[in-house]
Structure 1
Amino acid sequence: MTYRTARGRAIGLASSIALIGALVIAGSASQAATPTTALPIQEHHFWDALELKPSPGDTWARLRDNLAWQERAHDERVQRWIEHYRANPHNVVEITERARPWMAWIIAQVEARGLPGEIALIPFVESSFDPKARSHRGAAGLWQFMPGTGDALGLRRQRGYDGRLDVVAATRAALDYIELQAEQWYEGDLELSLAAYNAGAGTVNRARHAAGSRGEPTDYWHLRLPNETMQYVPKLHAIAAIIAEPEAHGVELPDIEDTPAFAKIPVDRPLDLGQLASQAGVSRSELAALNPALSNGSAHPSTSEVVLVPAEYEEVVLARLNTPTTEPSPGGAEQHLVQRGDSLSSIASRYGISVAELRQHNGLNGDVIQEGETLEVPRRSLASR
């Protein structure tokens, strides 16, 4: 049985055609960084210490309720990958542990769209659930978007922000992309869309045309595709089969509550993660781990819709943000949001400092700045304005 999308897209025909064209030009959306089990074991993150106690409706139970492709577990290619993962159970455990802060939320997004639960496991195959993963081909993030594909899907890249590393934005883009391809080209066939996610729609469409010309079936399982793509969907089915029955496969999954480990804080003004951490009593390393897209440690409305914080800190963070304060910012600096027409010279003149000081304080090698970027102005000079 082939699972097909049942939800109509709200994207207009003209915009769909334009997006499809851009994605074809961009090429493959993702290429797995390396084989999943070859990824190095990463250091433990802050969420490893979270006291998340299992509940009757834990994350894995919810995921099992949404699995829809279990009949594929008997396919020969899937069986080979099941045996591979069974021989390396520590890798499965490490990767699922790394998924702790993201798993419940991603499952909820997949469930809300009526998609099979297996889709929530794509980051397992793509990035081993490392939100900062980068492949030698240029793909990045949990969902391993190539630059051109990310651009076509609205995942902006500019100084201090890479939308492909933004778990919230990239998850939305990945699910949109998978559904859009399935509905535009494959009559809702999600397995073909997943193959296109890995190899590019052009590769899959050419393989289908060739199969049809030979009088052969044109579903995923009968196509002649690049080896990585031939193994891509079986890998996904294999890990789903193991999660469906972990004990039978010798795997002990970490307990993860069926509630998101993070909360989304709207970005309606420039936010410095260090300042936010100091005001709310959150570790800066925690905020950095939850917001890997913010490489310069700050967020502003022109790039980021939300900043993620540990769920238990949501109320205190919102309270701090809504409380006026005249306290100086940590590090003795004031923030300046770059506006259209700004230059380093004009900003330095406005605050009564030198261009050299402004460059040094912000780690700039030249004079190029971008609208929407946040610069720090040394506070020691502010009194002289």
Structure 2
Amino acid sequence: MLRAGLGETWRCTLANDFDPAKAAAYRENWGGDELVVGDICALDAKDLPGQADLMWGSFPCQDLSLAGAGKGLGGERSGTFHAFWDLSRALIAQGRGPRIVAIENVCGALTSRDGRDFEILCRTWADAGYAFGALVINADRFLPQSRPRLFVIGVRGDLDLPQGLLSAEPVEPFHPIALRRAVERLPADLRGRMHWWRLPTPAQPSLSLEAATEPDGPALRWHSPAQTARLLELMSPLNRAKVDKAVAAGGRHVGALFRRTRVEGGRKVQRAEVRFDRAGCLRTPGGGSSRQTLVIVEGGRVRSRLMTARETARLMGLPDSYRLPASYSAACRLTGDGVAVPVVEHLARHLFEPLLGMDGAARRAA
């Protein structure tokens, strides 16, 4: 999805993932001569050719997520960030430091271990001699999916920073209060070196949740009436009122439903929550609560079913021509782990390419 977002003016010199299903999908769509399948810890600087204009890392979020065990960057999975930066340091030592180094992860990285992990991230760029800044971009600025993500982007110290790309103060929507508080908690030396990247605010999403859904047909597998009734029973009065309002309005309405555990009256209860404007954040299919459901209201009838793999791909900004894994679980794992395509497009067009002074020549990314 990163490659799709960067577009054809960029040339990928190395890609890496350890998931065989994701690797197979990559090859189906991009060829894959530059793809290395395996643990990033097994890579060496000699495996990375030349000098990249952009080095991007999207590393596992489980240890940084609010739902995780709180191990942060010291955890086995999110700790692969360190392996990523070990490669960057080795390239820098060889005089091949990437011009831009960027990472993407969940916003839990801002508060993980009382902010120590965000400090580690910032300190890493600073110690490497990179100018750096952070952004929080929610995919709902581009797509009908709520998917806020943290992006930390560093620029090699010998490169000029165009003043038009910098803001003297944090500004909405990409510098929200959670990011500003995380920066305020940084030691003074790091706080003073933080840049506020300036990006234009995108227009409203052109794709609606209803437009992202597949047309009714025999291939769709609907829940039984009893299953749909059970989902409605799990709704709070507020969420049930949303469904009732859609029924009363007539016409066709498409909502996205996901399950959450709430504390009510001192005890945990499972609730079904629904929105008719956007989906919740797509996740990997690790359990029933992570698999989103569509609620279709039409002609006074309420039906429900799981999202299809293609629908999850559309919510990530992938075109229908993108070949997904045949397995539903593998396809949803791919999309749930991904970065939204139009978010990358926005970063490339309004930050990466201006920083690099792109003049139409292809750029190299690893």
Sort the TM-score into its range (normalised by shorter chain): under 0.3
TM-score normalized by structure 2?
0.21
Could you say which structure has the larger radius of gyration? Answer: 1
Higher strand share: 2
Higher helix share: 1
